[in-house]
């Protein structure tokens, strides 16, 4: 069986996948800057600071494939994102290359394209429109992944994850929800499909209100089992509790777009119509 490394094991997605991946990949190595509080006796863990290349090399030793969920997972100060996502992301790909890792599944984000309006359906080949420093770091990660795929032959899959969880929590998430089991399916495509070279997929379940054209994932065999509309009543009830957000409600990135926003709203909102 292949040895799979999963970074970000202490985070929200990593915590969920720690329960779902072992039956598929028994030789699963977990990593994060600190061990999970509930680390089991049978779980293998190596701590690593992604900003340190030597530590990245150490966790990549003897690894066949990587699921990279490590890093800074929300909007934050530039220095934090720089160290964890920019330097850390580069180090992870460089360490994988140096240690002969064959495949990397990179957790990108919908925030790499968050400034597209919700009425504008997009594919994976659009110009990036990040909605913050976090989104910029995900654009960078996708670019580094493409470089290592084309220049060094690493097989790279980037997943622009929507909103991961057991159910969609509001109206926006009805369009971008990702069921945990569906994320596992996407990871397996990246780690196992023979035709992967460099691909970008949207991390989304079967969402009738989707803003994204995810046909490339379907061409590689993706068949999501989660259906957002099954939770419509709950999501809309939660939406009714939220305050209106004129900027965030217009864009796919939601509150990431309105956070710190002080631009010309009328000009920026209409940019796709010009």
- pLDDT (tens, 9 = 90+) of the chain, 274 residues, equals 799 999 999 999 999 999 999 999 999 999 999 999 999 999 999 999 999 999 999 999 999 999 999 999 999 999 999 999 999 999 999 999 999 999 999 999 999 999 999 988 999 999 999 999 999 999 999 999 999 999 999 999 999 999 999 999 999 999 999 999 999 999 999 999 999 999 999 999 999 999 999 999 999 999 999 999 999 999 999 999 999 999 999 999 999 999 999 987 776 655 444 4
Is 136 within the bounds of a domain? Answer: yes
Q: Please report whether residue 273 resides in a domain.
A: no
The enclosing H or E element of 156 equals strand 155-161
Asked, for residue 34, whether it belongs to a domain, the answer is yes
Active site residues: 134
Residue 150 lies inside a defined structural domain of this protein: yes
Residue 44 lies in domain: 4-267
Enumerate residues 6+ apart whose C-beta is below 8 A from 211: 116, 118, 120, 121, 122, 175, 176, 252
Alpha-carbon distances, residue 46 vs 22, 43, 109 (angstroms): 16, 10, 25
Give the number of domains in the chain: 1
- Give the residue among 219, 204, 200, 216 at the shortest CA–CA distance from 252: 204
Q: Angle at CA 62, nearest 5°, toward 59 and 63?
A: 70
Q: Domain of 231: which CATH number? A: 3.40.50.720
| Residue 127 burial (CB count, 10 A) | 8
274 in any annotated domain: no
Residue 30 lies in a domain: yes
In 3D space, the residue among 112, 70, 67 whose CA is nearest the CA of residue 87 turns out to be 70
| Residue 272 domain-assigned (yes or no) | no
The two tokens of residue 232 are 């419509």
Query: Whole-prediction pTM value?
Result: 0.95
């Amino acid at each position: 069986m292949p040895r799979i490394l999963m970074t970000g094991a202490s985070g929200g997605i990593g915590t969920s996948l720690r329960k779902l991946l072992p039956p598929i990949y028994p030789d699963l190595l977990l990593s994060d800057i600190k061990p999970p509080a509930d680390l089991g006796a049978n779980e293998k863990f190596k701590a690593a600071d992604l900003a340190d290349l030597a530590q990245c090399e150490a966790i990549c030793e003897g690894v066949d494939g990587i699921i990279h969920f490590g890093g800074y997972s929300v909007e934050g100060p530039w220095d934090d994102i720089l160290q964890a996502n920019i330097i850390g992301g580069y180090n992870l790909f460089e360490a994988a290359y140096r240690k002969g890792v064959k495949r990397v599944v990179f957790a990108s984000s919908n925030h790499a394209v968050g400034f597209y309006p919700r009425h504008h359906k997009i594919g994976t080949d659009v110009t990036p429109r990040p909605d913050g420093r976090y989104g910029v770091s995900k654009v960078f990660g996708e670019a580094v992944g493409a470089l290592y795929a084309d220049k060094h032959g690493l097989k790279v899959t980037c997943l622009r994850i929507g909103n991961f969880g057991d159910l969609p929590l509001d109206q926006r998430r009805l369009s971008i929800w990702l069921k945990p089991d569906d994320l596992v399916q996407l990871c397996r495509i990246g780690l196992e499909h023979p035709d992967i070279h460099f691909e970008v997929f949207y991390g989304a379940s079967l969402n009738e209100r989707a803003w994204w054209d995810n046909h490339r994932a379907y061409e590689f065999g993706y068949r999501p089992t989660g259906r957002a509309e099954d939770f419509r009543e709950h999501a809309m009830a939660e939406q009714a509790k939220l305050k209106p957000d004129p900027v965030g409600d217009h864009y796919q990135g939601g509150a990431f777009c309105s956070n710190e926003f002080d631009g010309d709203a009328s000009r920026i909102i209409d940019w796709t119509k010009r």
